[in-house]
């Protein structure tokens, strides 16, 4: 909780670092016989810490230089400001840059420390410089963790964008395809059979409302107190098939095995695959075509087969077409098996195996 609070209030942390460093520097400078010079130099040594996030390398250079000057002129070794600055460099910069900066800082600050301790007193001098090593190690560990988390967040955002793009394609492509087919049917019978045209218009309205509802649910419009329906699954297969039948494509459904609860992602992917395959059949199979959907529930897998006997072909099987690409990506996400090919007797078939783990 405390670390989270500090992350949300970085300026408070910067001020705290500055006050701690300033207190140690001013405390010694005020007791020195030349406080008029020591106090300004102490401020030069510590004030840059307020800007350590903007340019950490420049802040390290200034604080380290002031530390050397104080050590040489006043024989006072105060590693806190430069240690804070080196910690910041290790957190915010890449490892190669921070390592070089750490070595240069140790070399610069180490010279007056070794002169004061005596060149033969290696142990004493190394002990006084140990704080810089600790500051770099701690900062490098935090920086590595932070960069790792940023990479994960960036990857998650990219995957979420790809998922939303697939969902948008499936929702829009299916419902718009149904609406176009219904509109064409209404136009054909508008004069001769106005009641059929009216039915088609009602179906267009229903498809449009369903598309808007799914888009709102998908995009998660921010409105207080609004509850969106969950994403669809195979429990809504009958609704999907009824919609396609109303658009003019006869569809038969076969369910093998005992339907049971599925992982949410697999359930949604299975629904979208069936939806996209039926949309392709509706668009390309032809007016006299029939389609079939087979869903087979196994103990550790889910099989789907969506086929039609039409004369058309949705896309070139091995290449383009966002529909097949989206289906293939969904299946690959769960390490499943995807096949899409023309049938020997005519028509097109999509076969999917999704492992359930």
DSSP 88-145: HHHHHS-HHHHHHHHHHHHHHHHHHHHHHH-TT-HHHHHHHHHHHHHHHHHHHHHHHH
Enumerate the β-bridge partners of residue 350: 306, 340
pLDDT (tens digit per residue) in 106-151: 988 888 887 776 666 677 678 788 888 899 999 999 888 888 777 7
* Same domain as 17, residue 150: yes
Confidence of residue 159 (pLDDT cuts 50, 70, 90): low
- Asked if residue 140 and residue 15 are part of one domain, the reply reads yes
Q: For 146-165, b where at least 16 C-beta lie within 10 A, e where not — what string?
A: eeeeeeeeeeeeeeeeebee
Whether residue 318 has pLDDT greater than 70 = no
Residues in the chain, how many? 357
143/36 same-domain check: yes
Nearest alpha-carbon partner for 304 in 335, 266, 342, 333 = 266
Q: Which residues of 227-265 are buried (b: 16+ CB within 10 A; e: fewer)?
A: eeeebbbbeebeebbebbebbbbebeeeeeeeeeebeee
The CATH code of the domain that includes 298 is: 3.30.565.10
Q: Is residue 195 part of a domain?
A: no
Q: Which of 155, 184, 207 is the C-terminal boundary of a domain?
A: 155
Q: Between 80-92 and 122-189, two packed helices, what is the crossing angle to 10 degrees?
A: 30
Is 276:170 a contact under the CB 8 Å cutoff?
Answer: yes
Q: Residue 235 falls within a domain, yes or no?
A: no
For the entire predicted model, the pTM comes to 0.50
Calculate the CA 67 to chain-centre distance. Answer: 43
Residue with the larger pLDDT of the pair 60 and 266: 60
Higher-confidence residue of 323 and 82: namely 82
149 and 17 in one domain? Answer: yes
Sheet holding 291-297, edge to edge: 251-256, 291-297, 301-308, 348-355, 337-342
Give the whole-angstrom CA distance, residue 85 versus residue 95: 15
Asked if residue 116 is part of any domain, the answer here is yes
257-282: pLDDT as tens digits: 988 888 877 888 899 899 889 888 88
> Is position 267 within any domain?
yes
Q: Which of 26, 23, 55, 49 is nearest to 39 (CA)?
A: 26
**Which residues are within 8 A (CB) of 5 and not within 5 positions of it... i.e. 6 or more apart?**
none
Is residue 8 located within the same domain as residue 113? yes
| pLDDT tens digits, 73-110 | 767 777 888 888 999 999 999 999 999 999 999 988 88
SS3 (DSSP) at 315: coil
pLDDT in the model for residue 19? 83
Residue 330 lies in a domain: yes
205 backbone dihedrals φ, ψ, rounded to 5°: -60, -45
**Whole-number pLDDT of residue 286:** 73
Domain presence at residue 191:
no
Strand partners, 296: 256, 303
**Looking at 109, 131, 155, which one is the last position of a domain?**
155
Rounded distance, CA 281 to CA 113, Å?
A: 80
The number of angstroms, rounded, from the C-alpha of 178 to the middle of its chain's C-alpha atoms is 33
Confidence tier at 304 by pLDDT (50, 70, 90):
very high
Q: How many structural domains is the chain composed of?
A: 2
Domain boundary among 121, 155, 189: 155
Q: For residue 1, what pLDDT is reported?
A: 46
pLDDT tens per residue across span 187-237:
777 777 777 777 777 777 777 776 666 666 655 544 444 444 567 889 999
pLDDT of 172-183, one tens digit each?
666 677 777 777
255 with 129, same domain? Answer: no
Q: Are 334 and 265 in contact (CB under 8 A)?
A: yes
In a shared domain, residues 255 and 115: no
Query: What pLDDT, on the 0 to 100 scale, is given for residue 349?
Result: 94
Q: Give the range of the structural domain holding residue 10, as residue numbers without chain letter.
A: 2-155
234 within domain boundaries: no
**For residue 175, is it within any domain?**
no
How far apart are alpha carbons 241 and 237 in whole angstroms? 6
pLDDT score recorded for residue 276 = 87
């Amino acid at each position: 909780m405390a670390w989270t609070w500090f992350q949300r209030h970085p300026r408070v942390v910067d001020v705290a670092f500055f006050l701690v460093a300033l207190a140690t520097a001013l405390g010694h400078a005020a007791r020195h016989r030349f406080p008029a010079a020591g106090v300004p130099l102490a401020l030069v040594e510590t004030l840059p810490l307020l800007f350590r996030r903007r340019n950490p390398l420049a802040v390290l250079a200034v604080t380290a230089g002031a530390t050397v000057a104080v050590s040489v002129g006043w024989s006072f070794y105060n590693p806190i400001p430069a240690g804070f600055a080196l910690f910041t460099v290790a957190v915010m910069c890449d490892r190669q840059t921070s390592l070089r900066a750490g070595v240069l800082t140790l070399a610069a600050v180490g010279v007056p420390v070794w002169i004061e301790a005596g060149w033969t007193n290696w142990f004493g001098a190394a002990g006084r410089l140990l704080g810089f090593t600790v500051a770099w190690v701690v900062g490098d560990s935090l920086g590595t963790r932070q960069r790792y988390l940023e990479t994960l967040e960036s990857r998650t955002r990219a995957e979420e964008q790809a998922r939303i793009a697939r969902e948008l394609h499936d929702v829009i492509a299916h419902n718009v395809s149904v609406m176009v087919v219904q509109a064409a049917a209404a136009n054909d019978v508008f004069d001769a059979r106005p009641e059929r045209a009216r039915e088609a218009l009602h179906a267009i309205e229903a498809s449009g409302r369903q598309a808007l509802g799914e888009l709102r649910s998908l995009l998660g419009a921010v409105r207080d107190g609004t509850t969106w329906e969950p994403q669809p699954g195979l429990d809504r297969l009958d609704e999907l098939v009824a919609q396609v039948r109303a658009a003019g494509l006869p569809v038969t459904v076969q369910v093998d095995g005992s339907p049971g609860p599925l992982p949410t992602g697999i359930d949604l992917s299975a629904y979208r695959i069936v939806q996209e395959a039926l949309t392709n059949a509706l668009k390309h199979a032809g007016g006299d075509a029939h389609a079939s959907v087979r869903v087979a529930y196994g103990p550790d897998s889910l099989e789907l087969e969506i086929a039609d006997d039409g004369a058309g072909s949705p896309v070139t099987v091995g290449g383009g077409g966002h529909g097949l690409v989206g289906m293939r990506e969904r299946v690959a996400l769960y390490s499943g098996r995807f096949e899409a090919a023309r049938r020997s007797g005519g028509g097109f078939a999509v076969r999917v195996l999704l492992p359930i783990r």
